[in-house]
Amino acid sequence: MYQSLIEKKDYPALLALLVLSFSVVLFVLLRLSRSSGPPSLADPIPFVYNTAQFVFNNDKFMKRAMKSARNKTANIVQFHLGPTRTYLISGPQNIQAIFSRSSMKYDQVMLEMAFPRLYGFTAGELARFANDKSGRKTKPIPGTEHMPPEQRLGHAFEHVHYDFMSRSHHFKPAVEAFSRELHKALESKYPATGEWSEVGVVELCRQEVTTCAIAALFGPNVLALNPGFVDTFWKFDSYAFTLVLGFPASINPRPYKAHDQYVNMIQRYLDAGLESFDWDGSDVDAQWGPLFGARVCRELVKWLLGAGFKGRSVRTKTCSLYPIGSSPNICSQQPTVGQLQPTAERDSGTHAGRPFHSPTLRHSTAVKRRGNIAGA
């Protein structure tokens, strides 16, 4: 039929036939995609609209997807990312089920997605991690006992985080710094005048809480050296998921520009710290300091440099200490704010002559309190 129309040069009829054929195929595909499985996210222009919004406006796409999931009371929503059927999954049980049953384990996700795309590891650095089959625990996996300690990168990386973030005597000074700075910030922004103050919880978390958490974890120097660091962080955060998916910069350059801007700020902070810190001085065992903040930052930088990592991978791996705030949980980021805030609440005591109540932020609505801000 197509050949006949071409020979007759009946182009309007040929175009109509092509459109009809495409519509039939599209209809069949959509019917098949909706015939079984989880609820589907609405796609106004099938295979195009969701894909374009996912790539170019991921924040809006995720909000729309979450709203759809809530409306359909579903923890899993499917959509087409180009021709590929893709599933958005929420809920700890569903996520645990995927990683416990699938061959796509945590280390594989990190090596294939996060390390090269988010952290900028080179092929050689990726190969070093990939060749480490000994596991993350102190005792190597059976059959890998022969591996030299310096080649056990997974264990060393885990050791730095576990020792200096989970042990209270190492991390408590950072918690105390967070508590002090947040108290000052709240007292400055919401002075105890006896008047009512309306607090936007989301904005409070994005600005004051984030600023204080960064100062506590990385040290105040990173903020002093980089005006606008918090806004740059949140801009990078909004693109992190898109970066991990690996769409080329030629299609969507904005995530890469935001990433580079954030990483360059971290580099400025690291250069200043490495130049000024005395690795043979009395502060080498300090649990907190203004140059590197919490000891875990300094120890991570020390380990990365000692293990032979250089340049971008050191900068970006240091960035990984701070969580990706609003993006989906694409990799196991350290929940720093989550650690700082509850601990600050437990340890809250008397500061500046009166009790300091750390805000327990449970709702995304505005709250009102007279004088000191207390639990919402």
Q: How does pLDDT run across 143-176, given as a tens digit for each residue?
A: 999 999 999 998 998 889 888 988 899 999 999 9
Distance of CA 197 to the CA centre of its chain: 31
Taking CA 174 as the corner, what is the angle to CA 156 and CA 162, rounded to the nearest 5 degrees? 20
pLDDT band, residue 350 (cuts 50/70/90): very low
The residue range of the domain holding 86 is 37-102
Is residue 25, in this structure, part of any structural domain at all?
A: no
Determine which of 16-20, 47-51, 84-88 has the lowest per-residue pLDDT on average: 16-20
d(CA 15, CA 6): 10
Of 360, 6, 339, 309, the closest CA to residue 167 belongs to 339
The answer to whether 295 and 164 have CB atoms below 8 angstroms apart is: yes
Residue 45 or 355, more confident: 45
Is residue 341, in this structure, part of any structural domain at all?
A: yes
Does 324 score more than 70 pLDDT?
no
Determine which of 172-181, 190-199, 227-236 has the lowest per-residue pLDDT on average: 190-199
Q: What is the pLDDT of residue 45?
A: 86
- Which residues, at least 6 apart from 128, have a Cβ–Cβ distance to it below 8 Å? 151, 153
Q: What is the pLDDT of residue 222?
A: 95
Is residue 117, in this structure, part of any structural domain at all?
A: no
Output the CA torsion sign for 115, 334, 129, 90.
Answer: negative
d(CA 295, CA 163): 10
* Helices and strands in the chain, H and E counts: 17, 8
Share of the chain above pLDDT 90, in %: 32
Asked if residue 348 and residue 225 are part of one domain, the reply reads yes
Q: What is the pLDDT of residue 10?
A: 53
Q: What is the pLDDT of residue 269?
A: 93
What amino acid occupies position 370?
Answer: R
End residue of a domain, out of 67, 84, 102: 102
Q: What is the pLDDT of residue 210?
A: 94
Is residue 125, in this structure, part of any structural domain at all?
A: no
Q: What is the pLDDT of residue 211?
A: 96
How far is the CA of 188 from the CAs of 87, 185, 371, 375, in angstroms? Answer: 45, 5, 12, 18
Average pLDDT of the segment spanning 281-292: 94
Domains of the chain: total: 2
The answer to whether 61 and 54 have CB atoms below 8 angstroms apart is: yes
Does 13 score more than 90 pLDDT?
no
- Looking at every residue in the chain, the average pLDDT score rounds to 77
How far is the CA of 306 from the CAs of 186, 282, 309, 362, in angstroms? Answer: 40, 20, 7, 42
Backbone angle region of 308, left / alpha / beta, with phi > 0 → left and psi within -120 to 50 → alpha: left
Phi, psi dihedrals of residue 194, rounded to the nearest 5°: 90, -5
d(CA 150, CA 127): 15
The answer to whether 48 and 22 have CB atoms below 8 angstroms apart is: no
Q: What is the pLDDT of residue 198?
A: 82
pLDDT tens digits, one per residue of 187-206: 898 888 888 878 888 899 99
pLDDT band, residue 285 (cuts 50/70/90): very high
Does 67 score more than 50 pLDDT?
yes
Asked if residue 98 and residue 158 are part of one domain, the reply reads no
Is residue 276, in this structure, part of any structural domain at all?
A: yes
Asked if residue 164 and residue 72 are part of one domain, the reply reads no
d(CA 336, CA 78): 31
Asked if residue 199 and residue 302 are part of one domain, the reply reads yes
Taking CA 339 as the corner, what is the angle to CA 283 and CA 277, rounded to the nearest 5 degrees? 20
Asked if residue 338 and residue 205 are part of one domain, the reply reads yes
Residue 173 or 107, more confident: 173
Average pLDDT of the segment spanning 114-134: 86
Does 102 score more than 50 pLDDT?
no
Is residue 17, in this structure, part of any structural domain at all?
A: no
Does 372 score more than 60 pLDDT?
no
Average pLDDT of the segment spanning 231-236: 93
